[in-house]
Every structure is written in structure tokens, then in C-alpha cells.
């Protein structure tokens, strides 16, 4: 098997990034939650540079993407990387591309001096959970994720 190659997304590929986001949301049964637009992605990814995207390329086809950004651990005293999305198209799954993406992200993180790589996974996504456990990722089940969003976020900002 020819090895998968990785490259960072370009500004002109915002439509493809949005397409991958929608495919992932469809896979997770969350398509109705996608309100991202090409304009928003252009602004936040390429103008404000708050996150980065890498594509996996196999036999001249883009087979998947990963979107990540840096966070900070006060306990480690250094940045980490947070993987927001990792998606490999269905016809390319089971070929080791998911592991290759995590390996590439680990390489990027280590090269940048990051202390860890983290992500969330839906409890209902059992295939991904099994994959992550096989990769020896440690579930952080003693932590609870909290969120303030939408109108409540705006209300809080006004208090």
C-alpha cells in the first residue's frame, strides 16, 4: 500500500473543508447542528488563524481531514493540541489512515513542543472509541464537559 501523504489546507480549499465537516456531521447524526459557512471558515481558519486543517492524500485523492488548534495546560506549562475533528471517508476506512492521521498530529505536536494531544468523542461512536483505545488513548472519564453557547452566551456577556 502506498503511504498516505499529509498537507495543510489552503485558503482556496474552504469549500472542501466545509464538505468534510458536513460529511462528519452526517456520519455522527448531527448534520442539523452545522451552521458553519465558507465565509466563517475563511475568517476563522485563514484570517484569524485560530485552527489548522490537514488533509490526508492517498493515490491523488483527499481521503480525510483533521482540524486542530492549540490549547494550553497550566499544569504542564506548555501548549497542547486539541483535535476538533478527524474524519476519513467511508471507502478509505480500515486501511490504517486514522492511525496515520494521529501519528501525523503527534509529529506536529512534538515538533512544536506540545505536551499532549486531546480530543472528545461521542459516547455513541463505538467504532471510534474502540479505535482510540487500541491506540492506547486514555479516556478522561473523571471530567465533565460544560458548555455555554448561543443565546445564553450572549446573555452572559451582557451581565
Just list the catalytic residues: 132
Q: E strands within the chain?
A: 5-8, 52-58, 61-73, 78-88, 117-119
Strands 78-88 vs 52-58: parallel, antiparallel or unpaired: unpaired
Q: Which residues pair with 80 in a beta bridge?
A: 71
- CA 60: distance to chain centroid? 22
Separation between Cα atoms, residue 124 and residue 110, nearest integer Å = 30
Separation between Cα atoms, residue 36 and residue 15, nearest integer Å = 11
Q: Is 64 helix (H, G, I), strand (E, B) or coil?
A: strand
Amino acid at each position: 500500500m502506498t503511504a498516505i501523504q499529509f498537507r495543510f489546507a489552503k485558503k482556496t480549499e474552504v469549500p472542501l473543508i466545509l464538505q468534510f465537516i458536513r460529511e462528519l456531521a452526517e456520519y455522527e447524526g448531527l448534520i442539523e447542528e452545522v451552521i458553519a459557512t465558507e465565509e466563517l471558515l475563511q475568517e476563522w481558519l485563514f484570517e484569524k488563524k485560530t485552527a489548522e486543517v490537514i488533509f490526508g492524500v492517498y493515490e491523488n485523492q483527499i481521503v480525510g481531514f483533521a482540524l486542530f488548534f492549540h490549547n494550553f495546560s497550566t499544569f504542564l506549562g506548555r501548549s497542547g493540541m486539541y483535535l476538533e475533528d478527524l474524519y476519513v471517508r467511508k471507502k478509505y476506512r480500515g486501511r490504517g489512515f486514522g492511525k496515520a492521521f494521529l501519528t501525523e498530529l503527534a509529529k506536529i505536536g512534538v515538533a512544536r513542543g506540545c505536551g499532549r494531544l486531546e480530543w472528545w468523542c461521542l459516547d455513541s461512536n463505538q467504532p471510534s472509541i474502540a479505535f482510540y483505545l487500541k491506540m492506547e488513548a486514555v479516556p478522561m472519564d473523571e471530567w465533565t464537559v460544560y458548555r455555554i453557547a448561543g443565546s445564553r452566551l450572549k446573555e452572559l456577556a451582557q451581565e
